Amino acid sequence: MAAVISSKVAALVALLSVLAAHGARAEPSYNNATERRALYSTGGSWLPARATWYGRPNGAGPDNNGGACGYSRTNQYPFNSMTSCGNLPLFKDGKGCGACYQIRCTRSNNRACSGTPKTITITDVNYNSKISHYYFDLSGTAFGAMARPGLNSQLRRAGIIDIQFRRVPCNYKGLNVNFHVEGGSNPFYFAVLVEYAGSDGTVVQVDLKEANRASWTPLRQSWGAVWRLDPGHPLKAPFSLRVRSDLGKTLVANNVIPKGWKGNKNYRTISQFK
Identify the structural domains of the chain with CATH numbers, from first to last: 13-168 (2.40.40.10), 178-268 (2.60.40.760)
The predicted-structure confidence for 169-211, as pLDDT tens digits, reads as follows: 999 999 999 999 999 999 999 999 999 998 888 999 999 999 9
The predicted-structure confidence for 130-174, as pLDDT tens digits, reads as follows: 999 999 999 999 999 999 999 999 999 999 999 999 999 999 999
Radius of gyration of the chain (CA): 19
Core vs surface per residue 35-71: b (16+ CB within 10 A) or e: ebeebeeeeeeeeebbbbbbbbeebbbbeebbbbbbb
- SS3 of 98, please? coil
Q: Please provide the average confidence, as pLDDT, over all residues in the chain.
A: 87
pLDDT bin (cut points 50, 70, 90) of residue 267 is very high
3 state SS for 101-147: EEEECCCCCCCCECCCCEEEEEEEECCCCCCCCCEEEEEHHHHHHCE
